[in-house]
Structure 1
C-alpha cells in the first residue's frame, strides 16, 4: 500500500504509526509525501486561506487519482464532509485531547490566570484558542504564528513570545523535551478542544473494498462514536478549522455520553459554553447546537 502524508515531523510520526500497524497484519507499505496549501502558504493565518481542507485537499486529490492507496490525517484537519468517492476507513486511538500552554519560565506570574500577566503575548493561529483565551483572560494579546511544532516552541524558548499554545497529542507523539519551559495542561472540560483533536484518520476510496477491509481492524469504535458527535456539531454549524468552536465528547463506563462545547461568533466576542449528558448519541449533536445558538430577541 502507498500511504499519502504531509511531510511535517508530526505528520510523518502519524504515518509511520499506521505503517507499523499495517506491518503487524503482514501488509507492506511505503510513504509518499505530499505538500498541501497549508504547508506551502505560511504567511497567512488559517482564516485567510481559501476554502476548507487546506491541510488535506492535495492529499485527497492524489487519493482520488489512484496515486496513493490511503491517506493519514489529523482528524481535526479534515472537513466534516468527505469528497465524493472518499471515505474514512478507520480512526485511531485518542491521544491526550487537551490543549497545552507553554510559557517562558521568566514570564510566568503565579496567581494570575494561566500564570500570565495582562499584556502577555501568546502565540496561536487558532480562532478557537484565541476566543477561549481572551474569554478567560481578557488582558492577553494573541499573536498569529504558523509553522511546525518545534518552530512554534522556539518562539517561547527565545522569549519572542511569552507563551505558545499547542495540542498535547502532538507534543506527546514527538516526545519533545520541555523541561526548560513551564507547561500548563488545560482541562478539555474547561478549555474545550477542537472536534476530533488527538485522533488520526485513515482515508481511502469508497470503491477500494479490499483496502477498507484490511483497514477495518485499525478502527476504534468508541473514538468513532464520540468524534462523530463532535464533528456533527461542527457540520451543523457549517464550520471549518477557522470557526471559534470547541467540542469534546466522552463516553463513561455506563455508556452515557457527555459533551462540552464552547463557541464564540468571533474570538473577541463572549464565549457561550454548554455541557450536556445523554444515554444515547441520537440527537445529541442537534441539542448541543441548539444550546449554543443565540437566543432570539423578543
Structure 2
C-alpha cells in the first residue's frame, strides 16, 4: 500500500518550517507527502493571555480535529505546546532530534540588568516567574503572536527586551545579534523538540514516522513531560524541566515557581539510563511533598478565578 501522507501544520513561518523539515525527511525515505496548513485558535486570538484561554492544547486542538475528521494524516507540533494527554485515537509517531532547548533574551542593551529596573515581555508564565525570581524589581508585560509578530512588537515598544526560545529564531534564521543566553532559566518541558502525531489505527503513517524517531530526544522529553503531567494535573503553571543524557546517565533538573516568582521549589536527579522508568514522576512527587502541592493549589485558585 502507498498513499500521499497529508501533513497538518499551523500556518506560521516557524510551523511551516517544521512541517517542511518533516516533509523532506519523509520524502527521503520514499514517501509521498502534501502540506495542509491550518490556523489554530491560539494564532487567531492574540489579545488574550494564553492562560486565560485554557492554554492546554490551544495550539494543537485545530489539528487534532482535522486528524480525527480525516482531513490530514499526521500533524507536526512544537512538542512543548502539546498537552501531556493526547486525544483518544491520536498517538505519538516520532520525536525529531531536539534542537536548542535554551531561552534567550533579545534586548536593546543590557545595562538595565544591573540597575534593578526594566520591562521584559513574554507570554509565558514559566518565563515570567523565573525572570521575576531573578529580577524582582522588573516589570513583565504580556507578549503574544508568532515569533515574527513578537519580534516586531519588541521593536515597536519601549521594552528593554523579550524572551524567546532559541530554537524558533534559529530555525527561521531571524535570531538577531543583540541577544544573551539565559543559561539560568529552566526551559519548558520538551522545548526545542518537534513531535509528529498520527492516528492510532493508521499503520502506514506510524511505520513511516517510526523511521524519523530520535531515541535520545524521545527519552529526555518523555521524562520532562511525565514530570509536567504529575505536577500540573491539567492546569497550566510555571514549570521548567530539562533532562540530558551524559555518559550513559540521565541528568534531570526541574522546578515549580509561584506566579510572582517569589517561591521556587526545585529538584535535581541523576540516574543510569537503564533506571529512567518513573524518573519524571519521582521528581514531581519530590516537588509536591516539599511544598509543591500547596503551591499548585494556590496557582490553580488564581488562574481559575
Distance between the aligned counterparts of 1:161 and 1:94, measured in 2?
A: 31
Contact kept, 8 Å, 2:129 with 2:258, in 1: the verdict is no
Distance between the aligned counterparts of 2:230 and 2:74, measured in 1?
A: 27
| Closer, same or farther: CA 204–231 of 1 in aligned 2, 3 Å | same
Distance between the aligned counterparts of 1:218 and 1:116, measured in 2?
A: 45
Match of 2:136 in 1: 138
- CA shift at 1:287, angstroms? 2.2
- CA shift at 1:198, angstroms? 0.3
Match of 2:105 in 1: 101
- CA shift at 1:290, angstroms? 2.4
Contact kept, 8 Å, 1:244 with 1:267, in 2: the verdict is no
Counterpart pick for 2:259 among 257, 261, 266: 266
Counterpart pick for 1:291 among 269, 286, 305: 286
Contact kept, 8 Å, 2:106 with 2:161, in 1: the verdict is yes
- Give the root-mean-square deviation of aligned CA atoms: 1.7
Distance between the aligned counterparts of 1:177 and 1:259, measured in 2?
A: 28
Unpaired runs of at least 5, structure 1 = none
Give CA deviations for 1:22-65 in whole Å, capped at 9, x if unaligned.
11112121111111110111111111003620000110011011
TM-score (norm 1): 0.91
Distance between the aligned counterparts of 1:28 and 1:232, measured in 2?
A: 34
Match of 1:22 in 2: 26
TM-score (norm 2): 0.89
Match of 1:199 in 2: 193
Match of 1:149 in 2: 147
Residues matched between the structures, number: 286
- CA shift at 1:270, angstroms? 1.1
Distance between the aligned counterparts of 2:114 and 2:16, measured in 1?
A: 33
Distance between the aligned counterparts of 2:106 and 2:24, measured in 1?
A: 31
Distance between the aligned counterparts of 2:268 and 2:88, measured in 1?
A: 34
Match of 1:119 in 2: 117
1:74-93 correspondence runs (5 A): 74-93=78-97
Distance between the aligned counterparts of 1:275 and 1:202, measured in 2?
A: 29
